[in-house]
Copies of this chain bind each other. A is one copy, B any other.
Amino acid sequence: MNESSTRVEAFSDGVFAIAITLLILEIRVPHGGPGGLWRELLSLWPSYIAFLMSFFVILIEWVNHHELLRMVRGVNYPFMFANGLLLLLVTFIPFPTAVLAANLATPDAKAAVAFYCATFAVNALPWNLLFHTIVRGGLLRAEVSPTVVRNIRRTYYVAMFVYLLATALAFVQPALALAFNASLWIVFIRLGYRSESSVSARS
C-alpha cells in the first residue's frame, strides 16, 4: 500500500534547494555611493546576518528531512500532505528573512526579530505533524527503536518552546533572541546524529 519515497524526496529536495538559493536575491546590490563601494557593502551587514541564519536553518532542516526519510520504509497519501505543509513553511522562510534584513538596523528591529523567531515556532508544528503521520501510518522501519521516536518527539517540543522563548525575548533583547534562535542549530544537528546511530544504512 505504501510506495517508495523517491518522488516525494525529489520534490522536497527541489523546494529546499530553491528556497535556500533564493535567499541571496534579497540582498540588494549597492551601486557605490559617495562613501565608496566598500562602505556600501559593509552597510549591508543586516542582510548578511539574515542570509547566513536562514541558509543554515534551511540546510539543517534539509539534513533532518533527509535523516527522517531514511527512517521511513515508504510514504502514504497523508504523508504527502503533511510533507506539503512542512514545505509551505520552508518556502515562507525567505519572507521573514527579507523582513529581518530590511529592519535589523532600524527602530523596528525588535518586531522584525520577533516575527523571524515566531516563524520558526510555527515551523515546528508541521515537523510534529509529519512525524505523527509517519508513526501513526506505520511507516517507520522496524529497526527504529521507541527510544529514538521518543527523542525526536521531545526535541521537536523543546524546539517549539525555545522558538517561543526567543520570540518573547526579541521584544526585549533582539540580538540575544537571534543568538538563542541559532543555538537550536546544535540541538538539531545532534538530533540527526542520534537517529543515525540507531538506523542502519539503506543501500
Q: Is A95 an interface residue (CB 8 A)?
A: yes
Contact partner, A77, options B10, B31, B55, B192, Cβ 8 Å? B192
Please tell me if the beta carbons of B20 and A201 are within 8 angstroms of each other in the complex: no
Please tell me if the beta carbons of B24 and A21 are within 8 angstroms of each other in the complex: no
Please tell me if the beta carbons of B7 and A15 are within 8 angstroms of each other in the complex: no
A19-47 contact mask (Cβ, 8 Å, vs B): 1 or 0 = 11111111101111000111001000000
Please tell me if the beta carbons of B14 and A17 are within 8 angstroms of each other in the complex: yes
Contact partner, A41, options B41, B70, B107, B115, Cβ 8 Å? B115
Contact partner, A32, options B8, B37, B41, B111, Cβ 8 Å? B111
* Of A86-94, A123-131, A135-143, A156-164, the one touching chain B: A86-94
Binding site for B on A (CB under 8 A): 1-4, 7-11, 13-27, 29-32, 36-38, 41, 51-52, 55-56, 59, 62-63, 66, 70, 74, 77, 80-81, 84, 87-88, 91-92, 94-95, 98-99, 102-103, 106-108, 111-112, 115, 189, 192-193, 196, 201-203
Please tell me if the beta carbons of B16 and A13 are within 8 angstroms of each other in the complex: no
Q: Please, how many angstroms separate the alpha-carbon atoms of A112 and B22 in the complex?
A: 22
Please tell me if the beta carbons of A99 and B37 are within 8 angstroms of each other in the complex: yes
Given A37-B115, A55-B88, A202-B3, A21 and B32 touching (CB < 8 A)?
Answer: no
